[in-house]
Structure 1
Amino acid sequence: MRRTVALLTVLLAAGCSAPPPPGTDGDLTDGWATPSTPAPFRPAAGRCHETLATTAPLDEYRPVDCAELHVSETFHVGTPADADVAPAAGTPGAKAAYRECSDAATGFLGAGWREARVAVQVVWPTRAGWAGGARWFRCDVTTADLDGQSRTSRTGSLAGELSHPSPLRLACFDPKVDGGTVTAMTAVPCNTAHRAEFAGLWNAPDISYSKLESDTERSAAACRGTIARFAALPDDSDLQYRSGWISYNPTRSEWLSGERRVRCFIYFAERTFSRSLRNAGPGTLPIR
Structure 2
Amino acid sequence: MRRVLGVTASAVLVATALSGCGNPPGTDGDLTDDWRPVAEARQFAPRAGECHVNAEPTAYLTSHQPVDCAKAHLVETFHIGTFTGDLAARPIPPRVGSAAMRSAFTECDAKAKEFVGGDWRDGRLTVQVAPTSPAGWAGGSRWYRCDLFELNPLDDTGDAAVNRAGSLRGALRASTPLRHGCAEAGEWGHLLTVPCTKVHRYEYVGVWMAPNASYEDATKDEGAVHTKCRSVIARYAKVPVDRMLRYRTGSTYRFPSEEAWARGDRGVRCWYWSSGKKLTRSIAGGGTKALPVN
TM-score, normalisation: structure 1: 0.87
Between 247-256 and 66-75, report the one with greater CA deviation. 247-256
* CA–CA separation in structure 2 for the residues paired with 1:117 and 1:139: 17
Post-superposition offset of 1:225: 0.7
Contact 2:23 2:29 in 1 (8 A): no
Give the structure 1 partner of residue 168 of structure 2: 158
* CA–CA separation in structure 1 for the residues paired with 2:139 and 2:223: 49
Post-superposition offset of 1:170: 1.6
Output one character per residue of 1:231-259: Cα deviation in whole Å (capped at 9) or x when no partner. 12222222222221011112223323332
Contact 1:49 1:72 in 2 (8 A): yes
Post-superposition offset of 1:174: 0.9
2:116 maps to 1:109:
yes
For residues 15-54 of structure 1, the aligned pairs below 5 Å read: 15-17=20-22, 20-21=25-26, 24-54=27-57
Unaligned runs of 5+ residues in structure 1 are: none
For residues 1-288 of structure 1, the aligned pairs below 5 Å read: 12-17=17-22, 20-21=25-26, 24-80=27-83, 81-89=88-96, 91-145=98-152, 146-176=156-186, 183-288=189-294
Post-superposition offset of 1:176: 4.1
**1:213 aligned counterpart, secondary structure:** helix
* CA–CA separation in structure 1 for the residues paired with 2:23 and 2:74: 67
* CA–CA separation in structure 1 for the residues paired with 2:36 and 2:116: 44
Output one character per residue of 1:132-185: Cα deviation in whole Å (capped at 9) or x when no partner. 44322111100114424242111111112222332212211112487xxxx311
Distance 1:150 1:175, change over 3 A: farther
Post-superposition offset of 1:61: 1.7
Alpha-carbon RMSD across the aligned residues, in angstroms, is 2.7
* CA–CA separation in structure 2 for the residues paired with 1:126 and 1:29: 38
* CA–CA separation in structure 2 for the residues paired with 1:284 and 1:137: 46
Between 101-110 and 222-231, report the one with greater CA deviation. 101-110
Distance 1:59 1:89, change over 3 A: closer
> Which structure would you say has the larger Rg?
2
Distance 1:89 1:67, change over 3 A: closer
* CA–CA separation in structure 1 for the residues paired with 2:80 and 2:158: 22
Output one character per residue of 1:14-55: Cα deviation in whole Å (capped at 9) or x when no partner. 45445741xx53311334344244323211221111131122
Distance 1:167 1:25, change over 3 A: farther
Paired-residue identity, %: 39
**2:233 aligned counterpart, secondary structure:** helix
Contact 1:40 1:133 in 2 (8 A): yes
Distance 1:15 1:113, change over 3 A: same
Q: 1:40 is aligned with what amino acid?
A: Q
Between 206-215 and 125-134, report the one with greater CA deviation. 125-134
